[in-house]
Amino acid sequence: MKIAIVGAGIVGAAIAHSLLDEGHEVLILDKEGPGFGPSAGNAGWIAHTDILPIASPKNLRQVPRFLLDPLGPLAIRPAYFPKLLPWLLRFLLAARPEAFERSIQGIGTLQRRALPAWLDRAGKAGLEIHIHRKGGLYAFTDASAFTEARHIANRQAEFGIKVDAIGPEELRQLEPALKDRFVGATFHPDAAHISDPLQLTLALFEAALARGAVFEKAEITNISTGERPALIGRDGFQRVVDRAVIAAGAWSRPLAAALGDKVPLDTERGYNVSFPGMTGLTSRPVGFEGHGFVVTPLESGLRIGGAVEFGGLEAPPNHARTRILYDKAGQFVDGLPAFESGTLWMGFRPSLPDSLPVIGTASRNAHVVYAFGHGHYGMTQSTATGELVADLIADRKPAIDLSLFDPRRF
């Protein structure tokens, strides 16, 4: 079959491979080119160890404190608040105990498949050098949060995720650049990180082209409801295919709306600063629990980033936020390079209120498959999503129950 994928981010590139595996003819369309969105600049964690949704009772308790600080780890731009309200209401609903549990099940089920899917894809595509398996750490400054992490570890164990609680001394041995401020850490020996998000996205995309996929630069504005979907773009652009996949990240909402699905997709904007060439400060990614930032030793250089800002897709970045992340990092890590020597970046996480992506067929055209909204874990879940999309296109029973990811679940 001839299949078009809208979006050449990491999710679109991963889907391309899964469809090529099945012998399909693949056309990748992107308004900018490969690796334009958050796939180019994320923190580079294969974060399959994370199973908690953002809408959690714990986070809700912290929201008022966060919102009082306009540069805190979670912020809403005042001008965007009215537009965000419907999303926020759903976010509140998603934090109720039953919904919270559903999100954990959904995230965990997908995360369980994430690392094996990446290792398999990297092996087949000759991209193993991009995957580093040195584990990952979450360092704690707050004793009660560290104690609470034990409960989370029990939940993680349900999904086969290994977690070791370690003390401050062991933490310093693993990461000598960390200051002496931590009560302990959780160590995930199986966690992985990647060489660099842009490098990996481009490498995966190029590998798909080498296998026969074709790329065209085009902004898709509509998709027809016909038996053979027509992808319509600006200036008379039109391609008719047998199947289409929408993997346009945070920009997917209008395309789904055109096919009858009002999906509450918004964006959690995230920030980071990278120091090209700065390697070896830490050996593995480290998250700083309760402080809203992570540090990743990418091959391209050290990256410090995080934060969640609701402000839509149009507002320019506010790098005062990045400066705050860097200053915080300086309180916990020795030897950081000067902020001014770093490269600043902001990216758009494609986020649903329940932290679950949308994976399923369109209401008005069963020949169009959605695969977007992976929020904080798109890089992690991309290859597993590719496998599920291939199942849907082949009309096979998907490897996991997709009802939690249904576009019509809201």
Output 36 or 182, the one with its CB closest to ligand FAD: 36
Q: Hey, how many other C-beta atoms are within 10 angstroms of the C-beta on 65? A: 11
H/E segment holding residue 351: strand 343-351
Closest separation in Å from C-beta 98 to ligand FAD: 25
- The token pair that represents 188 in the structure block: 């995930």
Closest separation in Å from C-beta 208 to ligand FAD: 13
Nearest to 384 by CA among 71, 13, 89, 113: 113
What's the CA dihedral at 402, 403, 408, 409 to 10 degrees?
-130
Q: For residue 37, give the 3-state DSSP assignment.
A: coil
Output 174 or 258, the one with its CB closest to ligand FAD: 258
CA distance 176 to 169: 10
Closest separation in Å from C-beta 219 to ligand FAD: 4
Output 30 or 391, the one with its CB closest to ligand FAD: 30
Binding site for ligand FAD (CB under 6 A): 6-12, 29-32, 36-39, 42-45, 47, 219-220, 247-251, 270, 272, 305, 347, 349-350, 372, 374-380
Closest separation in Å from C-beta 385 to ligand FAD: 9
Output 273 or 278, the one with its CB closest to ligand FAD: 273
Output 106 or 375, the one with its CB closest to ligand FAD: 375
* Cβ within 8 Å of residue 189, ≥6 positions away: 135, 162, 164
Output 31 or 90, the one with its CB closest to ligand FAD: 31
| Strands 243-246, 2-6: pairing kind | parallel
Token match 């009082």: residue?
68
Output 360 or 378, the one with its CB closest to ligand FAD: 378
What is the residue-wise DSSP string for 92-145?
Answer: HHHTSHHHHHHHHHHHHHHHHHHHHHHHHHHHHHT-GGGEE---EEEEES-HHH
Nearest to 296 by CA among 136, 168, 118: 136
Q: Name beta bridge partners: 344.
A: 273
Closest separation in Å from C-beta 267 to ligand FAD: 9
Output 333 or 384, the one with its CB closest to ligand FAD: 384
Closest separation in Å from C-beta 75 to ligand FAD: 14
Closest separation in Å from C-beta 259 to ligand FAD: 13
Q: Name beta bridge partners: 308.
A: 74
Q: 261 near 360, Cβ under 8 Å?
A: no
Closest separation in Å from C-beta 321 to ligand FAD: 11
Q: Is 78 exposed, middle or buried (0-12, 13-18, 19+ CB in 10 A)?
A: exposed
